Amino acid sequence: SSLTSMEETLEPNKAVLYTWADPVGSRKLKWKCGKNSEEITQKDDLMTPFQVGAKHIFIVSFFEGLQRIILFTEDEKVFKMTYESEKVELAEQEIIVSLQDVGISLVNNYLRQEIAYIGITSSDVIWETKPKKKSRWKPLSVKQTDKLEKEFIEYCDNSPTENKVVELDDNIPVCLTPTGNDMKILQPYEFPVRRSFLPALKVQYSTSEHQSSFRVQIYRIQIQNQIPGAIFPFVFYPIKPPKSISLDSEPKPFTDVSIVMRTAGHSQISRIKYFKVLIQEM
């Protein structure tokens, strides 16, 4: 802790219970093994191998209920077993709701007058790529998307029957197809490309044995004042970022909220493993 420091030696095949000397102080635990040392806090999940002489030592820091455990082991099987139990698990149940456009109208029933209209809309056309088989589709930059979209529209206007290869960037050829299926980047590595869009509203929920996750994405939202003669007809609306910023970046939703809850071991007590709220400038 910040006021008092105590040092203990952990013998082989032994476990030591540790409580903070100063409960209100900074809760940091410093370990040392040979020439290796590091500080661990209550929030740190750690899974790291290090070497002491000719020996390979593995350290794992994880939660078991409300108690954090720090494990030192030379047994790689124990390390892998602990690592497998703590890493992201395959979902046992997954629910995805995706809406292209959403419109909400607020009406005063007494006056029979529309007061406001809230519109949640999807993105323009985007181009995505998937560098690895198990990876997710990733949007290309705005600059690359604009170039590919222009090439694809010109290509489709000619009612093509054969594939066409266009240059995305220097030495990056892309194969376009008449149906829009099986398109791919050819070099420096071959991986698929698709023409798509980001939905207006996307809700994802998944559960596994020890973990549950929830994610909400809202791409673009606009609120219009429908009262006649209103000083501000648009209460809330999106604007495009400067080209100097947007050209080399990929399109992102206005709001992205993600939370991952996890239960450890045999305990039913949940903890927040990951929580993030992204709000992009409107």
Q: pLDDT-derived band of residue 141, with 50, 70 and 90 as boundaries? A: confident
Q: What is the pLDDT of residue 256?
A: 92
Residue 117 lies in a domain: no
In a domain, 119, yes or no: no
**Structural domain contains residue 263:** yes
Same domain, 35 and 156: no
Same structural domain, 214 and 107: yes
What is the extent of the structural domain holding 264?
93-111+199-279
Query: Is there a domain that residue 118 lies in?
Result: no
Q: State percent of the chain over pLDDT 90.
A: 15
**Claim to verify: residue 55 and residue 5 sit in the same structural domain:** yes
pLDDT band at 1 (very low <50, low <70, confident <90, very high): very low
| SS3 category, 82 | helix
Cis peptide before 23 (omega within 30 of 0): no
If pLDDT is split at 50, 70 and 90, which confidence band does 125 have?
confident
The structural domain count of the chain equals 3
Whether residue 8 sits in one domain with residue 82: yes
Q: Are 19 and 78 within one domain? A: yes
Range list of β-strands (E), 53-190 = 55-64, 67-73, 93-99, 102-108, 113-121, 126-129, 138-139, 164-169, 172-176, 183-185
- Per-residue pLDDT, 83: 67
- Distance spanning both ends of the chain, measured CA to CA: 44
Q: Where does the pLDDT of residue 2 fall: very low under 50, low under 70, confident under 90, or very high at 90 and above?
A: very low
Indicate if 236 and 205 belong to the same structural domain: yes
**Residues 70 and 104 occupy one common structural domain:** no
pLDDT digits (tens, 9 = 90+) for 94-115: 999 999 899 999 999 998 889 9
- What is the rounded distance in angstroms from the CA atom of residue 134 to the CA atom of residue 71? 31
Mean residue pLDDT across the chain? 81
Query: Could you tell me if 228 and 105 lie in one domain?
Result: yes
In a domain, 121, yes or no: no
